[in-house]
């Protein structure tokens, strides 16, 4: 690509408070030594979980203009990383941008942000809008090198019923396999409750045809915004040339460290996100860590 340091186009919302999307992707990727070019899909006062009366300014019409200007100045990207979209049209615009960047050699990471079991609005799941969003996300998965749904999103994309915890290896592999059939090269599923009180990340490496689990540690309460933290680190580690499973383990290590900081402060509300800031200064200076994973 010829960029002095890796350059990532980050297509997510910008939420003023609550730490999701760009307020996580920008600091994390920058701390990893990667240049971030944000294309905001929407500007919100806060994210949408447990906040009422938040403001949302949709930027669908701005996106083609941003892309046209980037094209005009000849910007090339090492990676395109997408997340929260506020309209189905944005998925089309993003897909077309990804298709062109992929032809030029960019890595494509798609986080098909649509909901979480704790966060999901049931009305929304069966709405026309949601059907359009799921259909649009499925198309984006076709362009992707890596997709990173949580279990809820994995079920929405595959039509598989939400599995009861603990989720067994056979069920995990089935989900990974069906997601892979959507067309992405690799698949990573976040927030899998694979035992009573412990979570893992499930990984399918499509080049090696191998399945893995990465332990995310004991979890005794829900956290918000960890999916975006996770995929930001994963994207950065892949841009730095790490192989998929090592990048997946590195990202899990960072999330574990952010959670360790957060649980020291019980006064922090779930909607305030995780305390990843104290970890930023040190974590990436000693990469790679000795992080574990198992083949399943």
Residues lying near ligand PXL in the complex (CB under 6 A): 13, 15, 20-21, 44, 47-49, 83-84, 113, 119, 227-228
3-state DSSP helix/strand/coil % of the chain, to nearest 5: 40, 20, 35
Question: Do residues 222 and 14 lie in contact, with contact meaning Cβ atoms separated by under 8 Å?
Answer: no
Provide, rounded to whole angstroms, the least separation between the CB of residue 187 and ligand PXL.
18
The pairing of beta strand 7-17 with beta strand 56-58: unpaired
Residue placing its CB nearer to ligand PXL in the complex, 47 or 186: 47
Residue placing its CB nearer to ligand PXL in the complex, 18 or 253: 18
Provide, rounded to whole angstroms, the least separation between the CB of residue 291 and ligand PXL.
23
Provide, rounded to whole angstroms, the least separation between the CB of residue 295 and ligand PXL.
29
Scanning the chain, the segments in alpha helix (DSSP H) are: 22-31, 63-72, 88-103, 122-125, 128-143, 151-158, 169-180, 226-239, 244-263, 277-283
Buried b (16+ CB within 10 A) or exposed e, 170-208: ebbeebbebbbebebbbbbbbbbbbeeeebbbbbbbeee
Residue placing its CB nearer to ligand PXL in the complex, 201 or 296: 201
Residue placing its CB nearer to ligand PXL in the complex, 146 or 296: 146
The pairing of beta strand 7-17 with beta strand 198-205: unpaired
Provide, rounded to whole angstroms, the least separation between the CB of residue 104 and ligand PXL.
27
Residue placing its CB nearer to ligand PXL in the complex, 15 or 101: 15
Provide, rounded to whole angstroms, the least separation between the CB of residue 92 and ligand PXL.
19
């Amino acid at each position: 690509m010829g960029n002095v340091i890796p350059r990532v186009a980050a297509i997510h919302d910008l939420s003023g408070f609550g730490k999701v999307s760009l307020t996580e992707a920008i600091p994390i990727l920058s701390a990893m030594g990667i240049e971030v070019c944000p294309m905001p899909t929407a500007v919100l006062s806060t994210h949408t979980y447990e906040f009422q009366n938040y403001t949302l300014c949709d930027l669908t019409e701005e996106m083609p203009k941003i892309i046209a200007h980037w094209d005009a100045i000849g910007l090339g990207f090492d990676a395109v990383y997408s997340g929260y979209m506020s309209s189905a049209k944005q998925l089309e615009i993003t897909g077309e941008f990804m298709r062109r960047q992929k032809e030029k050699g960019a890595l494509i990471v798609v986080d098909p942000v649509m909901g979480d079991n704790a966060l999901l609005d049931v009305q929304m799941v069966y709405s026309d809008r949601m059907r359009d969003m799921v259909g649009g996300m499925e198309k984006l998965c076709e362009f992707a090198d890596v997709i990173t749904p949580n279990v809820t999103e994995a079920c929405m994309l595959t039509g598989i019923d939400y599995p009861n915890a603990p989720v067994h290896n056979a069920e995990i592999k089935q989900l990974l396999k069906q997601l892979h059939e959507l067309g992405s090269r690799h698949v990573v599923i976040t927030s899998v409750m694979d035992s009573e009180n412990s979570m893992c990340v499930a990984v399918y490496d499509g080049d090696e045809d191998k399945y893995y689990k990465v332990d995310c540690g004991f979890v005794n309460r829900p956290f918000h915004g960890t999916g975006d933290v996770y995929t930001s680190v994963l994207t950065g580690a892949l841009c730095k040339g790490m192989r998929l499973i090592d990048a997946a383990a590195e990202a899990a290590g960072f999330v574990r460290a952010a959670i360790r900081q957060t649980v020291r402060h019980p006064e922090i509300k779930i909607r305030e996100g995780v305390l990843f800031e104290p970890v930023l200064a040190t974590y990436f200076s000693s990469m790679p860590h000795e992080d574990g994973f198992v083949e399943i």
